[in-house]
């Protein structure tokens, strides 16, 4: 492979895609692969399609589906397009079954569940230049980057968006998690949609993922006393907040631009997250990442908040498992072609 097009939706530097694109391009440069960046707030699609014919790149790649409301881009370029998705395959749904569509996910369990030759594993890389080890001035004890939504209100919304049959099945599927991945829970309960109002598989998984964030986090906030939790994200409705056991130790913050979340990690001791991408970045920035479904969660939070040395040792041990962008591209990206 000699040439790749990296497609971005915006030139705004504080977004996740621009942050990751800079490291992706740098790694390709080191590997001797030409990488051209196209930002579609600065160039239109027809101009790009015309340039593809003359430049002849081997493939194109985007972080997420930046053409969500348009037909898949490979229909116009007639070349493979790779979507790297950090959290969900929903946005990449049109690319799962076409020969020119390729999807790379950081969730290895989901990769196996989808069982598609177009879906590949791509663990979130971390550039060593990001490593930040200082334990000083970490003002946030525990941070969470999750949206919190009133579940009863969300269930009512489901009945508006979908049919009553689907809404009821979604509630039942939610009860199967975390025993099963959202996709597996749906496959156990759902039959193919009967009409357009019932939605698609992608719609159902997205709905469950949205509800799962709240379902996972609320029990944690209600079970651990004496720890300050800082919640960054959308907080919709207040019924969940009114039911908190220890509201005085919960601090709500607005949803931040991606790069400002990184600044928060530098000031944090522990991050609770189920997303590998945030977990890897937290580790790089000297913040200990713990999964919300960890059976020893409460013990771990108490232990590592009280013992800075143990926290530092745990972070250092985890860092040894992280891969750089160049290592990840060589091992996981270049091998899919």
Residue where a domain stops, chosen among 171, 186, 216: 216
Predicted pLDDT at 243: 81
Predicted pLDDT at 61: 96
Q: Looking at residue 310, what DSSP letter applies?
A: H
Which residues neighbour 32 within 8 Å (Cβ) at sequence distance 6 or greater?
none
pLDDT in tens, 190-210: 776 666 667 877 788 888 988
Predicted pLDDT at 88: 64
Dihedral (Cα; 96, 12, 15, 137), 10-degree rounding: 170
The answer to whether residues 140 and 26 belong to one domain is no
Q: How far is CA 208 from the centre of its chain?
A: 15
284 touches 126 (CB < 8 A): yes
For 276, how many CA atoms within 13 A lie in the half-sphere containing its CB? 19
The answer to whether residues 259 and 137 belong to one domain is yes
The answer to whether residues 180 and 247 belong to one domain is no
Which residues neighbour 151 within 8 Å (Cβ) at sequence distance 6 or greater?
211, 214, 215, 240
The answer to whether residues 209 and 261 belong to one domain is no
Residue where a domain stops, chosen among 157, 181, 216: 216
The answer to whether residues 175 and 278 belong to one domain is no
The answer to whether residues 157 and 199 belong to one domain is yes
What global pTM score does this model have?
0.90
| CATH classification at residue 110 | 3.40.50
Predicted pLDDT at 309: 94
Which residues neighbour 121 within 8 Å (Cβ) at sequence distance 6 or greater?
104, 105, 106, 108, 111, 332
Is cis: bond before 178, omega within 30 of 0? Answer: yes
The answer to whether residues 44 and 107 belong to one domain is yes
Give, for all 337 residues of the chain, the pLDDT tens digit.
899 999 998 877 788 889 999 999 999 999 999 999 999 888 888 899 999 999 999 999 999 888 877 888 999 999 999 999 876 667 777 788 788 999 999 888 778 877 788 999 999 999 999 997 776 779 999 999 988 888 888 999 999 999 888 999 999 999 888 777 777 788 788 776 666 667 877 788 888 988 988 888 999 999 899 999 999 998 887 778 888 899 999 999 999 999 999 999 999 999 999 888 899 999 999 999 999 989 999 999 999 999 999 999 999 999 999 999 999 999 999 999 8
Q: How far is CA 11 from the centre of its chain?
A: 21
Looking at the structure of the chain, the number of domains it has is 3
**Coil/strand/helix, residue 37:** strand
Predicted pLDDT at 126: 95
The answer to whether residues 136 and 157 belong to one domain is no
| Structural domain of 174 | 148-216
Predicted pLDDT at 135: 66
The answer to whether residues 305 and 267 belong to one domain is yes
| CATH classification at residue 280 | 3.40.50.2000
The answer to whether residues 301 and 261 belong to one domain is yes
The answer to whether residues 114 and 12 belong to one domain is yes
81 touches 60 (CB < 8 A): yes
The answer to whether residues 106 and 55 belong to one domain is yes
Neighbours of 27 (CB within 10 A): 21
């Amino acid at each position: 492979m000699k040439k790749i097009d990296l497609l971005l939706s915006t030139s705004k530097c504080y977004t996740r895609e621009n942050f990751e694109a800079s490291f992706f391009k740098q790694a390709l440069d080191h590997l001797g692969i030409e990488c051209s960046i196209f930002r579609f707030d600065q160039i239109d699609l027809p101009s790009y399609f015309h340039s593809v014919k003359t430049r002849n790149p081997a493939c194109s790649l985007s972080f997420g589906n930046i053409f969500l409301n348009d037909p898949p881009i490979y229909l116009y370029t007639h070349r493979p397009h790779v979507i790297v998705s950090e959290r969900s395959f929903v946005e990449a749904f049109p690319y799962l079954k076409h020969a020119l569509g390729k999807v790379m996910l950081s969730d290895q369990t989901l990769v196996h569940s989808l069982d598609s030759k177009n879906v590949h594993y791509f663990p979130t890389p971390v550039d060593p230049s990001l490593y930040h080890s200082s334990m000083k001035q970490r003002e946030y004890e525990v941070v969470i980057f999750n949206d919190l939504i009133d579940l009863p209100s969300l269930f009512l919304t489901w009945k508006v968006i979908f049919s009553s049959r689907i809404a009821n099945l979604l509630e039942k599927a939610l009860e199967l998690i975390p025993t099963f991945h959202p996709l597996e829970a749906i496959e156990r309960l759902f039959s193919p949609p009967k009409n357009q109002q019932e939605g698609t598989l992608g719609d159902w998984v997205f709905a469950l993922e949205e509800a799962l964030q709240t379902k996972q986090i609320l029990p944690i906030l209600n079970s651990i006393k004496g720890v300050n939790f800082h919640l960054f994200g959308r907080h919709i409705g207040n019924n969940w907040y009114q039911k908190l056991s220890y509201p005085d130790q919960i601090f709500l913050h607005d949803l931040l631009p991606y790069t400002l979340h990184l600044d928060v990690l530098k000031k944090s001791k522990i991050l609770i997250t189920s997303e590998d991408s945030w977990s890897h970045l937290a580790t790089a920035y000297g913040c200990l990442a713990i999964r919300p479904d960890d059976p020893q969660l409460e013990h771990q939070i108490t232990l590592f908040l009280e013992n800075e040395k143990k926290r530092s040792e745990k972070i250092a041990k985890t860092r040894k498992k992280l891969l750089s962008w160049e290592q990840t591209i060589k091992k996981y990206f270049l091998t899919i072609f």
